[in-house]
Amino acid sequence: MTQPQRVVTDTMAGLKLPDFDTWSDRVATVLGQNPGPFTGPGTNTYLVGTSKRPLLLDTGIGLEVYDPLLEQGLSETKGANELQEIVLTHVHQDHIGGVPNVQKRFGELSVSKHRWPEKDRAYDFPLTYIEDGATIETDGATLHAIHTPGHAKDHLCYYLEEEKALFTGDLVLGAGTTVVPEEGGGLIDYMASLRKLLDLDLSVIYPAHGPAIREPYKKLNAYIAHRELREQQVLDALGAGLTRIPDMVKRIYVDVPEFLHAAAGNSVQSHLIKLEKEGVVKNEGEEWALA
């Protein structure tokens, strides 16, 4: 049996965070109330700014239980009862899903994100499209949008200039690793996005799931090393003659419970697709082999 090998050893399992909390002079969180194996304690939605009209970064999945907590969190962390606007990291439901309820409570706030027309058309509220490099300002906080595809085509990270902090959405999580989905994602983009973040001057990462990351470069390098190790493990499995994804999962993910093997299979597949694009492996039906 292959020994389990992993770079990222922490996990979201059992992690708990308070319903709302102050993380810095400018940044407070309200938890989306959607815990799960992939969301950890749930989506962090962020109140950003120093005024009584902060902006809301991500909105959770749209659960009714979130709305009174947002109101309470806004009041207790910012002494506020208004929002300036809504800004989104990406179109996945646990980030955009809360928009209609938030607008019902706080008025027709503008909603900004990067474009992904095929997904955006599922929502009937107006969206303001922002590009890589766009700046969003609120009292006490300046956010710079950074296009970071890989987890989702429209994914933006936001750099908070005043704190050298980075909101990473689902690109980098507070614990464990993230999903690189086949639809709208891809490991080539994902790795490039991680490497792009290494060039920033960072003191902290505020992820969309899990706690703040106080050693940003250690985390980014661990994320890169994790994927590089997985890629090597996939190559080793192919070299050992394994051709099918479920067999590779059994070999590589010996330390992962069976209910996560489907997700692990998606991860192996995303490595194989990357390697295929790079001309290293070939694929026929469900069979994979070294090229």
Instruction: Give me the sheet containing 27-31, strands edge to edge.
Output: 20-22, 27-31, 44-48, 55-57, 86-87, 111-113, 128-129
In whole angstroms, the minimum distance from the beta carbon of 119 to Zn ion comes to 11
Q: Which is nearer to Zn ion, 32 or 49 (CB)?
A: 32
Binding mask 252-291 for Zn ion (x = CB under 5 A): ----------------------------------------
Residue 170 makes contact with Zn ion by CB under 5 A? yes
| Selected range binding Zn ion among 46-54, 163-171, 193-201, 272-280, rule: CB under 5 A | 163-171
Residue 231 makes contact with Zn ion by CB under 5 A? no
Residue 151's DSSP bridge partners are none
Tokens of 114: 């990067």
Burial category of 255 from C-beta neighbours within 10 Å (exposed 0-12, middle 13-18, buried 19 and up): exposed
Q: State residue 289 phi and psi, 5-degree precision.
A: -155, 160
Of the candidates 37, 2, 39, which has an alpha carbon nearest to the alpha carbon of residue 230? Answer: 2
Please list, in sequence order, all residues whose beta carbon lies within 8 angstroms of the beta carbon of residue 188, skipping any fewer than 6 positions away: 150, 274, 277, 278
Are residues 13 and 28 in contact, defined by beta-carbon separation less than 8 angstroms? Answer: no
Size of the site for Zn ion (CB under 5 A): 2
In whole angstroms, the minimum distance from the beta carbon of 208 to Zn ion comes to 7
Q: Which is nearer to Zn ion, 49 or 174 (CB)?
A: 174
In whole angstroms, the minimum distance from the beta carbon of 152 to Zn ion comes to 5
- Per CB under 5 A, contacts with Zn ion among 76-95 are 92
Tokens of 152: 């989702």
| Selected range binding Zn ion among 4-12, 16-24, 169-177, 236-244, rule: CB under 5 A | 169-177
Name the DSSP letter for residue 209: B
In whole angstroms, the minimum distance from the beta carbon of 155 to Zn ion comes to 8
In whole angstroms, the minimum distance from the beta carbon of 15 to Zn ion comes to 17
Rounded Cα–Cα distance for residues 134 and 114 (Å): 10
Residue 114 makes contact with Zn ion by CB under 5 A? no
Q: Which is nearer to Zn ion, 89 or 269 (CB)?
A: 89
Residue 148's DSSP bridge partners are none
* Residue numbers at the binding site for Zn ion (CB under 5 A): 92, 170
